[in-house]
């Protein structure tokens, strides 16, 4: 049997308990393979399961929730792309524009409800609340080094 540690995190209104297991064969090590994506989970106070996000993806989420446009733009590569239902915005200017019209400028909050990372791409399911749109959605964030190179929100089908 492995060793378990728990820590309590409080980020805004979200109070989470993170359980870390070591030396246990049944726990995903967080290292993905071609056949199995990396997925490490944490339990939230609401009893939901949320996967641990790669740091660049977490930076995007945190910037939105903190209303920090500068941090949001800085979380992307210089040639970063946001593709929101086929509306494509490129580079720092495009990313800042989207932040103003669709996210931070609309008092948005994003609550990631699940995430799976395979290679450099993390798919998130999330709850979005803003003055422009409210509801459940999903997105794909591609990581290049320590930044996000693409944030793609596909149109519903």
Q: What is the 3-state secondary structure (H, E, C) of 13-80?
A: CEEEEEEEEECCCCCCCCCCCCCCCECCEEEECCCCEEECCCHHHHHHHHHHHHCCHHHHHHCEEEEE
Question: What rounded mean pLDDT belongs to the chain?
Answer: 78
Structural domains counted in the chain: 1
* pLDDT tens digit sequence for 7-16: 334 444 444 4
Q: In this predicted model, which residue has the larger pLDDT, 30 or 99?
A: 99
- The model carries a pTM of 0.70
* pLDDT tens digit sequence for 107-126: 999 999 999 999 999 999 99
Count Cβ atoms below 10 Å from residue 148 Cβ, excluding itself. Answer: 25
Range of the domain at 39: 3-153
Give the per-residue pLDDT at 157: 75
Q: In this predicted model, which residue has the larger pLDDT, 147 or 19?
A: 147
pLDDT class of 51 with cuts at 50, 70, 90:
low
């Amino acid at each position: 049997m492995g060793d378990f540690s728990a820590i309590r995190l409080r980020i805004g209104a979200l109070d989470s308990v993170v359980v870390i297991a070591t030396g246990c064969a049944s726990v995903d090590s967080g290292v993905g393979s071609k056949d199995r994506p990396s997925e490490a989970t944490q339990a939230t106070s609401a009893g939901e399961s949320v996967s641990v996000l790669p740091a660049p993806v977490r930076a995007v989420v945190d910037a939105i929730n903190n209303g920090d446009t500068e941090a949001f733009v800085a979380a992307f590569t210089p040639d970063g792309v946001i593709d929101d239902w086929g509306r494509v915005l490129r580079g720092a200017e495009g990313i800042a524009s989207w932040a103003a019209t669709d996210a931070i400028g609309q008092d948005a909050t994003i609550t990631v409800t699940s995430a799976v990372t395979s290679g450099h791409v993390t798919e998130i399911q999330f709850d979005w609340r803003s003055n422009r749109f409210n509801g459940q959605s999903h997105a794909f964030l591609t990581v290049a080094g320590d930044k996000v190179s693409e944030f793609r929100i596909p149109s519903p089908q």
